[in-house]
Structure 1
Amino acid sequence: MQGKKELVVLSCVVFNYSGIVQWTKDGLALGIGEDLRAWPRYRVLRLVDVGQYNLEISAAELSDDSLYECQATEAALRSRRAKLTVLIPPDEPVIEGAPEILLTAGVPYNMSCVSRGAKPASVIEWQKDGLPIEGAVSTTEVLPDRKRVTTRSYLPISPVDTDTGKNFTCVATNLAVPMGKRATITLNVHHPPVVTLSIEPRSVLAGERVTFTCQATANPPVMGYKWAKGGVVIQGARESVFVTKADHSFFTEPVSCQVFNAVGSTNVSILVDVHFGPILVVEPKPVTVDLDSDVTLNCKWAGNPPLTLTWTKKGSSMVLSNNNQLYLKSVSQADAGQYVCKAIVPRIGVGETEVTLTVNGPPIISSEAVQYAVRGERGEVKCYIASTPPPDKIVWAWKENVWEKEKGTLSERYTVEQSKLTTQGGAVLSTLTINNVMESDFQSTYNCTAWNSFGPGTMIITLEETEVVPVGIIAGGTVGCSILLILCLLALVLVLYRQRKGSRRGVTLGKPDIKVETINKETHSLEEDSGSVSTATRMVKAMYSPFKDDIDLKQELRSDTLDTRQDYELKDPTNGYYNVRASTHDEGRPASRSMHYSDYRTSGQPGGAAAVVSSGSGAPGATAGPGTPSSLAPGSRAGCYDPRPPSRLSHNSYAQFNTFTRAGQSQQPPPSSGPQTSDFTAECSLLDSTAQLGYENYGYPHYPTFRMGFGPPSLAPLEGGPAYEMYGVGPSVGAGGGTGTPETGLGKYGSSTRFSYTSQHSDYSHRHTQRMQTHV
């Protein structure tokens, strides 16, 4: 095989032959001799010595493509036939529509490439931007010379908008041109706009501004924009950007942007994530059903974020359903009424609507069973009838009277009127009016009965007499209540003021120097030498310790300190870390006023048990005031005592205080039963004595006692339980501390045994404390 225009040499060697040798072409002799005049491009290359007779063809052409044979005619010899094939490269391939073809996106197209005059037939391949692409179909056509072949290749494509500018290449190859010949075409794809619709911000509250942006690419270029919401064109919106305020409808009605060019238009829609409170979508309708029927109530809300829905009956908080439907099975007349469908959107809002359920059934009468009238005046007996369907007949019956509309007659004293209450769902109010009410009208019962298609409903009503309250009494009562309310408010303000005043601590300014000292304050018994304290005394101290916390209660009732010196407000230099009290160097205590229990009792006669007595500094020689009786003489009348101590002190507190105010064991008389009821005035019987401590709780103990700090003769008294001895101060004790006749122990009500809420000088009512004093 030789290519076109190439030099071809066909070899022929005949050994030991000296005759004529000739060549034939397709059986036709080319001639004898070296030069073949009839074939200018043919020549025989003869070398007789070696017996070589080669045929040379220069510039081979397609016509040279034949069968050749070398013949030695004299020797009757011929060679085998030699097939000379001439290869012809194809012409330049051609792509229809080149160099640029205009296509429409989405419209299929068969791209064609033709390769002509090739021998052998050319093979066509396709490439897209240099990369092979499959799917082409080829056909061949033999030319009239029956040597050359034309090849056609078809590549089906479906162009898209992104194919614009892409290059498709057709490559034709055969044996003559192994590298092939190429043809290239560029695509220009026209397409409708490609649109991207965005929203900013992505999530908004109802009423906030939102911006829509419509970005489009198109070939040919964009010609215009249109905006629509829910399918309705928005007039005046013609640009690529649309700004508006979002409401709840944007959540369900999409906003669309339509972009168009010469090829077509593209429409893109988007929903807005609008947060909004509940919107009623399906309005519930009133429902009327018969008794014992099943019923379904419908209600539908919309909200964003997703809402929570609840069904309740009006007036009740019980949730009946959380769905859009409320199903009630076999309803009764009690189920009739208003039902509330409530929707809650978290952090946004709440919405609710009501639906009325009407249950057909017998009439229901809901009047008061007892009604009132004034003798001699005009009276009314009212019968309230709720009935669905409305009542067909209403009958009143009382005494010998029976009334039915348009039937029968009544005496002039009685009239019956009926009215429809439209605000109550068509209920009927039937009123029996009695003129000049008499005694006999109060002795009769009144039967109100109503009928409808479902049956009767009845109620028995009684009429009772009432009196007319004069207007002056009503006005006086109103004024009195107002005055009483004002007095109560004033009393409350006074109590709060006193409590606040009592809670403040007295601060007295002394010299300007600051001195810090710690003072140990012990009770009398604790100051004694530990070596002289008996074992029993230590046990008593151990038993006494739980009561010491109760003593702090009386400090809350402390009255203001009366000091003749001028008081100043001193700022605490330690910011409250220490209890700072400024005083003079002599540490002299100011005189104080003690509030005794008697101060809180009901005031009695002068000199009685209710007299107020001021105590001194608690010196042993103090004497009782003249108003303090040592005992109650039998049969004598005294002031009423308060039935109980202040509620702020517990029973243990009284027991503790009595511990320090009782006389010694050697000075105690036999236990007293306490004051008798006959010793008090008649008013005392009005005092409530229930749930109170008995008087014996404040009298003398019924067990052996001993003095704090002094051991008992033996430990036997301790077996009966802990007991304490009362330090007695009686009228017979002189100021000089001399001895006298043993006084009678008085317990709670004796003035000498009264305890003080603010006794600042008594060492027996204070626990062991350390006081930090700062002197400047």
Structure 2
Amino acid sequence: MRMNSQSLLTLLLSLQIGWAAAGRQRFRQRPESVEVVEGEDVLLRCEVEEQEGRAQWTKDGFALGFEREVPGYPRFSYLGRASLGQHHLLISGVTTTEDGEYQCQVGPGSSNRPIWAAANVTVLVAPQSVEISGRSKGEEVVVGDGSSLTLDCLVKDARPAPTATWLRDGTPLPPGLVDDTVEKSPLPRRWSVRSRLMLRVTAEDDGRVLSCEAGHPAIRGNAIPMTSVTLSVLHPPGHPSISGYREGEVLVAGQRVALMCRSLGGNPRPNLIWRRRSRPLSRTATSPSTAILKASAASTTTTATATTSRLQLTAAAEDDGAEYECRAESDLLQRPLVASVTLTVYYAPMSVRVSGPGQVLEGDPITLTCVTNESNPPASVRWKVQGGEAQNYCNSRNA
């Protein structure tokens, strides 16, 4: 027995020495872990130097077999020349079921021990949808000036968990306004993120676009999933101002002038109403000046920032000293906002009349009166007798 034990020990030592001496079976190229987007192909490379044992792949410990076309796995195949030790694994159109650990294994040979090398395949799944809860894409969100607004953005069903970024007119909002929560998706191996935006809205936000943009390593190119809403912030208009005429400027009767009334902001936009001497300008007005004004009616235009009303008028004698008002009216105002100008118009008298006796005795004094109607500035009167000046014979005063 002692001789047999010694012989067995000698044999084992010999085998170990022989394996160590002939242990040439090794990897020329080991597989490397990869991340791949769902639907793409993935190739795990494996090359063996001085191969002696048979080669196969395993997935999560399950053997895929030795055949080049893997039975039961139509999207799996071994590529390369086996005689050269090339045993690459191709997976076509990967899905989340292919996520896991893969090993390239080479069995023992007469003088080689088995060897193996592992790599992980991580399948990335891009978000399936991005939505703002309770809001349709592009919806107008109506909110009052100074109020708080809360919006929830849900980026759904991605692997690994996605991220969400809030933007205002394309500029990212501060992280302190956002609270993110990762949620498990009802779909296997997927997650969603709920991003809550809490924003104090001001009048400056009126018309701005709030967007929620998904972030994920599986997103390719510029096709970034996103959704957005547009803010409609209710706020009163600014105080109106009138241009086109300066106080003290002199107009001449018959002169055309355009008064421009402008009010900034306002949602809804204000109604701009023109008044003359505190009376609305209307088509049914009987005042000659008002009738002339309405012949060239006021026109209103609206831009992204202001509302403007243009009133084209022809100055008349009735406009001298007349106050023109522009009133900005809105449901958000308790009373209208008013701007006004007072016109100065120069106009000539419409007529001149001379009165006095028709007959007098020679040598008697005579008094004649010359009267003009109103004018601005007051008209000057000159007398002529037989075509000659008669200044030394008259006194004059303003009518």
TM norm structure 1: 0.28
Residue 83 (structure 1) aligns with: 120
Residue 74 (structure 2) aligns with: 40
* Residues 574-614 of structure 1 deviation map (CA, whole Å, 9 limit, x = unaligned): xxxxxxxxxxxxxxxxxxxxxxxxxxxxxxxxxxxxxxxxx
The 8 Å contact of residues 193 and 216 in structure 1, kept in 2 or not, is answered as: no
The 8 Å contact of residues 42 and 57 in structure 1, kept in 2 or not, is answered as: yes
CA–CA distance in structure 1, aligned partners of residues 281 and 206 of structure 2: 28
CA–CA distance in structure 1, aligned partners of residues 262 and 48 of structure 2: 90
* Residues 310-349 of structure 1 deviation map (CA, whole Å, 9 limit, x = unaligned): xxxxxxxxxxxxxxxxxxxxxxxxxxxxxxxxxxxxxxxx
CA–CA distance in structure 1, aligned partners of residues 279 and 163 of structure 2: 60
The 8 Å contact of residues 93 and 181 in structure 1, kept in 2 or not, is answered as: no
1:97 aligns with 2:144: no
* Residues 379-400 of structure 1 deviation map (CA, whole Å, 9 limit, x = unaligned): xxxxxxxxxxxxxxxxxxxxxx
Alpha-carbon deviation of 1:41? 0.7
Alpha-carbon deviation of 1:164? 3.7
Q: For the structure 1 residues 25 and 139, does the alpha-carbon distance in structure 2 shift closer, same or farther, using more than 3 Å as the test? A: same
Residue 170 (structure 1) aligns with: 212
1:14 aligns with 2:14: no
Tell me the amino acid that sits aligned with residue 108 of structure 1. Answer: S
The 8 Å contact of residues 258 and 265 in structure 1, kept in 2 or not, is answered as: no
CA–CA distance in structure 2, aligned partners of residues 266 and 112 of structure 1: 35
Q: For the structure 1 residues 270 and 74, does the alpha-carbon distance in structure 2 shift closer, same or farther, using more than 3 Å as the test? A: same
The 8 Å contact of residues 124 and 217 in structure 2, kept in 1 or not, is answered as: yes
CA–CA distance in structure 2, aligned partners of residues 271 and 46 of structure 1: 87
Alpha-carbon deviation of 1:64? 0.8
**Runs of 5+ unmatched residues, structure 2:** 1-34, 249-260, 283-308, 312-318, 341-399
SS for the counterpart of 1:63 is helix
Residue 69 (structure 1) aligns with: 103
1:56 aligns with 2:90: yes
* Residues 21-80 of structure 1 deviation map (CA, whole Å, 9 limit, x = unaligned): 222111111223222121111112363332222222111111111101122334552423
Tell me the amino acid that sits aligned with residue 259 of structure 1. Answer: E
The 8 Å contact of residues 207 and 233 in structure 2, kept in 1 or not, is answered as: no
Q: For the structure 1 residues 217 and 177, does the alpha-carbon distance in structure 2 shift closer, same or farther, using more than 3 Å as the test? A: closer
* Residues 635-682 of structure 1 deviation map (CA, whole Å, 9 limit, x = unaligned): xxxxxxxxxxxxxxxxxxxxxxxxxxxxxxxxxxxxxxxxxxxxxxxx
* Residues 168-211 of structure 1 deviation map (CA, whole Å, 9 limit, x = unaligned): 332222211254614343425152431315589879xxxxxxxx
Q: How many residues align?
A: 251
CA–CA distance in structure 2, aligned partners of residues 190 and 221 of structure 1: 11
User: Which piece of structure 1 moves more, 21-30 or 125-134?
Assistant: 125-134
Residue 293 (structure 2) aligns with: none
Q: For the structure 1 residues 191 and 237, does the alpha-carbon distance in structure 2 shift closer, same or farther, using more than 3 Å as the test? A: farther
**Map of 1:471-490 to 2, 5 A cutoff?**
none
1:118 aligns with 2:118: no
Residue 481 (structure 1) aligns with: none
Q: For the structure 1 residues 238 and 124, does the alpha-carbon distance in structure 2 shift closer, same or farther, using more than 3 Å as the test? A: farther
* Residues 105-132 of structure 1 deviation map (CA, whole Å, 9 limit, x = unaligned): 3122123332222222223223333333
Q: For the structure 1 residues 238 and 266, does the alpha-carbon distance in structure 2 shift closer, same or farther, using more than 3 Å as the test? A: farther
**Larger RCO (CA within 8 A; separation ≥ 6):** 2
CA–CA distance in structure 1, aligned partners of residues 228 and 75 of structure 2: 42
Residue 194 (structure 1) aligns with: 237
CA–CA distance in structure 2, aligned partners of residues 2 and 215 of structure 1: 57
SS for the counterpart of 1:37 is coil
Residue 191 (structure 2) aligns with: 149
CA–CA distance in structure 2, aligned partners of residues 237 and 267 of structure 1: 16
**Map of 1:622-633 to 2, 5 A cutoff?**
none
Tell me the amino acid that sits aligned with residue 119 of structure 2. Answer: A
CA–CA distance in structure 1, aligned partners of residues 263 and 75 of structure 2: 72
Q: For the structure 1 residues 33 and 117, does the alpha-carbon distance in structure 2 shift closer, same or farther, using more than 3 Å as the test? A: same
SS for the counterpart of 2:97 is helix
Tell me the amino acid that sits aligned with residue 114 of structure 1. Answer: L
Q: For the structure 1 residues 92 and 217, does the alpha-carbon distance in structure 2 shift closer, same or farther, using more than 3 Å as the test? A: same
CA–CA distance in structure 1, aligned partners of residues 72 and 269 of structure 2: 70
TM norm structure 2: 0.51
CA–CA distance in structure 2, aligned partners of residues 140 and 83 of structure 1: 24
CA–CA distance in structure 1, aligned partners of residues 129 and 268 of structure 2: 33
Larger radius of gyration: 1
Q: For the structure 1 residues 104 and 236, does the alpha-carbon distance in structure 2 shift closer, same or farther, using more than 3 Å as the test? A: farther
**Map of 1:296-695 to 2, 5 A cutoff?**
none
Q: For the structure 1 residues 91 and 271, does the alpha-carbon distance in structure 2 shift closer, same or farther, using more than 3 Å as the test? A: closer
Residue 268 (structure 2) aligns with: 220
CA–CA distance in structure 1, aligned partners of residues 339 and 263 of structure 2: 17
CA–CA distance in structure 2, aligned partners of residues 145 and 31 of structure 1: 30
Q: For the structure 1 residues 184 and 267, does the alpha-carbon distance in structure 2 shift closer, same or farther, using more than 3 Å as the test? A: farther
SS for the counterpart of 1:59 is coil
Considering only aligned residues, what root-mean-square deviation do their CA atoms show, in Å?
4.4
Tell me the amino acid that sits aligned with residue 110 of structure 1. Answer: T
Q: For the structure 1 residues 165 and 126, does the alpha-carbon distance in structure 2 shift closer, same or farther, using more than 3 Å as the test? A: same
1:265 aligns with 2:333: yes
